[in-house]
Amino acid sequence: MSTAIRLEGVRRSFGRKEVLRGVTASAETGKVVGLLGRNGEGKSTLFKILLDLLEPDAGTVEVLGERPDGSGRLRRRIGYVAERPAFHDFLSAGEVLEWRAKFFPEWDAARADSLMRRLKLDPGTRVKGASKGQLAKLAWVCAAAHDPDLLLLDEPTSGLDALVREEVLGELIGELHAGGKTILIANHRMEELGGILDEVWVLSDGVITAAVELEKLRTEACQVTARLHDWGARPVVPGTAAMPSERPLAAWAAFSREAADALAASGALDVVERRPLPLEEAMKLLLKDAGGNHV
């Protein structure tokens, strides 16, 4: 299977602040990858680099087999939903679509119309007076109407109400996935994506600290409760994260069987209990402990 996204040691600073400090990750074609990270961790910067909108200071970027070269040609094959979708405020939704169609040779007007109807978005809606939700819907239509090979979705459900969110996440992304599209999605409500993700990347402190296959996480993530031999000497094991506990017991989330085994074999504790961790909770813990132990 080919690689849709390949990042190697990607660095990017803004002034003195280094936002990305050597991101390395890769996603295979056709996969749906969730990007977890706290606010300000560089998710949007990473998206912009993948979109060829920002130039990395260092490192290698390959998207759909091409190196972004600043020409923008790559974006013909990418659909993008920004965290805060922006459109020219002098246009209506229908005009936005007509305008975009001029720039994308593969633009499918019928598909755009169909998406508009499906998302119940009136083409006459003026951008200037549109709600956040309407703008998010329009962004979705724009991102999908030219049948892109890669979708970069930066908080794509922000502003959408619960019903539409379900429609978008449950159906639209599912359909795109089924069509063989590669999707990289950043979403605060990652638990909503549990059913569709193939893999999760955790972006923390400017690097991808974890790249976990979701199926593995679903089947292997567990909570390990143990009695420490020395309360002051907690073992630090990659692929685990400390959980709240009450003395004399200590608890960890282990994101893989190997991590749980390694924790048990650390010699610093006696395992009392090992029970499966629900996926949503595992993902929350992954994000929460993103800056801690690398998976």
Phi first, then psi, for residue 109 (nearest 5°) are -65, -35
Contact 149, 64 (CB under 8 A): yes
H runs (alpha helix) in 57-192: 93-101, 109-118, 132-144, 162-166, 173-178
- Write out the two tokens for 57: 């200071």
Peptide bond into 235 cis (omega under 30): no
User: Could you tell me how many helices (H) and strands (E) the chain has, helices first?
Assistant: 9, 13
**List of residues contacting other proteins (CB under 8 A):** 13-14, 48, 51-55, 57, 70-76, 78-80, 82, 84, 86-90, 99-100, 102-104, 142-143
Complex with other proteins: residue 57 or 161, whichever CB lies closer: 57
Complex with other proteins: residue 88 or 227, whichever CB lies closer: 88
Q: Closest separation between CB of residue 150 and other proteins, Å? A: 12
Q: Closest separation between CB of residue 170 and other proteins, Å? A: 24
Q: Closest separation between CB of residue 10 and other proteins, Å? A: 14
* Residue 257: exposure state from Cβ atoms within 10 A (0-12, 13-18, ≥19): middle
Q: Closest separation between CB of residue 252 and other proteins, Å? A: 41
Complex with other proteins: residue 96 or 168, whichever CB lies closer: 96
Complex with other proteins: residue 48 or 177, whichever CB lies closer: 48
Distance CA(203)–CA(218), nearest Å, equals 20
Q: Closest separation between CB of residue 71 and other proteins, Å? A: 5
Complex with other proteins: residue 144 or 210, whichever CB lies closer: 144
